[in-house]
Amino acid sequence: MTPKERAVDLFRQGFNCSQAVFVAYRQHELLDEATALRLSTAFGAGVAHTGKSLCGAVSGALMAISMKHGRGDPAEMERKLRTYELSQSLMQQFESCLGSCQCRDVIGIDIGIPENRERAKELKLFETKCAEAVRVAADILDRLL
C-alpha cells in the first residue's frame, strides 16, 4: 500500500485528517504508529475540532516534512531552512488546489460551532471535503518527500 493509499485508508477507518496524513508519511523507523497517532490527534479538524485553524491534513503533512527534514540541533540551519521551504511549498500547493489551508474554508462551514458540526455531518462534508483534503495533502507530499 502506498503512503497515499494508507492515508486515505486511515481516514476511512475513522482517524482524523491530521492522524491519517502524518501516520502514513512519518519516518517509520523513528516513530511507531501508535505514538504517531497519539501525537497527531489534537491537530485534526482545524486544531482540536475548532475548525478555526489550519486544516488537519496540512498539519499532518507539515509534521511529516518536519520529521524527515527538520533539525534536531540549533546548528543545523540548512535543515531548518529546507523544512521551511518545503512547508511553504506544501501550503502554497494545497491552497492552490483547495482555495485555502484553513479548515473552515476547506470544509465550507465553521465546525467550531456545534450546530455547524452537526450540519457538516448531515451534509457528509467530513466524508467528502476532508477526504479530499487528505488526498491533496498526500499528493503533494508524494512530490515533496
**pLDDT recorded at residue 42:** 97
**pLDDT recorded at residue 61:** 98
**pLDDT recorded at residue 94:** 98
**pLDDT recorded at residue 127:** 95
pLDDT in tens, the chain (145 residues): 999 999 999 999 999 999 999 999 999 999 999 999 999 999 999 999 898 899 999 999 999 999 999 999 999 999 999 999 999 999 999 999 999 999 999 999 999 999 999 999 999 999 999 999 999 999 999 999 9
| C-alpha–C-alpha distance, residues 82 and 74, integer Å | 14
**pLDDT recorded at residue 11:** 98
**pLDDT recorded at residue 108:** 95
| C-alpha–C-alpha distance, residues 123 and 56, integer Å | 19
**pLDDT recorded at residue 5:** 97
**pLDDT recorded at residue 30:** 96
Residue 77 is given by DSSP the state H
**pLDDT recorded at residue 74:** 96
Helix 131-144 / helix 17-25 crossing angle, nearest 10 deg: 20
C-beta of residue 106 within 8 angstroms of C-beta of residue 55: yes
- The overall longest dimension of the chain from CA atoms, in Å, is 50
